[in-house]
């Protein structure tokens, strides 16, 4: 979670190179042209004036947005997130307990019976029995622990008043992406293709269950312009039969779930031929 700030008004401007830039207290962003829009690069506690910023000053990335308007909206959302944090009580408490990820190094109380714990390597939320009973059965963890990568979204969904608008949006997106069956059952809806990564991958695996899908690929040393690929039926991993193919580099793109071999177009070769 981000640090509370006292002045959540962002300042926009341009770098010397003409990139749209923004600053919010210690946080800084620039919009870097990318293949499909603008990449939001971020940095922390830059001492330079905005006009002197360069791409080399930024080491983080917040994803891709469509255009400058979307970049401004992204920064404005973070500013509103900071403003809302000012109205939430999240006192840090002395960690005195173990967690599934090791001893807590820092703990934060979100509400009665609801705490977030950080450890050396991971972290997450813990709900007491009363609060855990409020979680929908399709999302509930019997032990009351919800890790910080995806499961925290179940806590935010159950107790929205303890989270900011931005956190609630991200939580909903996470549940849709990774727990689509529960989301559909709770809301009585059917998610459309493209809304949930889990559902999309499930659909991809069903459609291509009988196809050879590349699980690894390297640029060919012996055949310039070609990629040497290893493929298995349905993209299965482990001790399963595999075939080897050569695919034009310009054509090969793994996509979200794997590259599907077209036996009529892609050359199958013997494993020994890949190094020949």
The per-residue pLDDT for 97 is 83
CA distance 78 to 13: 17
Q: Residues 141-151: pLDDT tens digits?
A: 999 999 999 99
Strands 123-127 and 145-147: antiparallel
In 10 A of CB 191, how many CB atoms? 17
Query: Distance between the two ends of the chain, CA-based, in angstroms?
Result: 53
pLDDT score, position 260: 97
Using DSSP, state whether 4 is helix, strand or coil: coil
Mean of pLDDT over the chain: 93
Band of residue 274 on the pLDDT scale cut at 50, 70, 90: low
> At a CB cut-off of 8 Å and minimum separation 6, what does 198 contact?
177, 178, 179, 180
Q: Is residue 276 pLDDT above 70, yes or no?
A: no
What pLDDT is stored for residue 1 in this prediction?
41
Report the C-alpha gap between 223 and 225 in whole angstroms. 6
What digits encode the pLDDT tens for the residues 176-195? 999 999 999 999 999 999 99
Structure letter (DSSP) for residue 259: P
Q: How far is CA 89 from CA 2, 112, 116, in A?
A: 14, 11, 13
In a 3-state reduction of DSSP, which class is residue 60? strand
């Amino acid at each position: 979670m981000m640090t509370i700030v006292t002045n959540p008004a962002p300042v926009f401007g341009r770098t010397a190179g003409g990139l749209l830039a923004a600053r919010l207290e210690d946080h800084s962003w620039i919009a870097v042209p990318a293949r499909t829009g603008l990449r939001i690069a971020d940095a922390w506690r830059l001492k330079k004036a905005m006009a002197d910023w360069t791409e080399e000053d930024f080491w983080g990335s917040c994803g891709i947005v469509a255009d400058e308007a979307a970049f401004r909206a992204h920064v404005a959302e973070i500013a509103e997130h900071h403003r809302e944090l000012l109205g939430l009580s999240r006192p840090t408490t002395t960690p005195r307990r173990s967690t599934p990820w090791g001893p807590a190094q820092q703990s934060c109380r979100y509400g009665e019976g609801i705490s977030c714990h950080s450890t050396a390597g991971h972290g997450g939320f813990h709900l007491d029995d009363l609060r855990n009973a409020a979680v929908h059965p399709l999302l509930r963890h019997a032990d009351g622990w919800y890790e910080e990568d995806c499961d925290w979204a179940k806590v935010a969904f159950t107790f929205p008043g303890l989270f900011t608008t931005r956190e609630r949006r991200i939580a909903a997106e996470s549940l849709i992406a990774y727990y689509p069956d529960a989301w559909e059952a709770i809301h009585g809806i059917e998610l459309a293709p493209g809304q949930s990564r889990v559902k999309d991958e499930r659909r991809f695996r069903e459609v291509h269950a009988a196809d050879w899908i590349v699980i690894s690929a390297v640029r060919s040393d012996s055949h310039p312009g070609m990629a040497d690929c290893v493929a298995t039926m349905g993209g299965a991993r482990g001790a399963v039969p595999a075939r080897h193919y050569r695919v034009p580099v310009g054509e090969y793109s793994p996509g979200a779930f794997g590259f599907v071999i077209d036996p009529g177009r892609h050359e199958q070769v013997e494993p020994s031929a890949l190094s020949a």
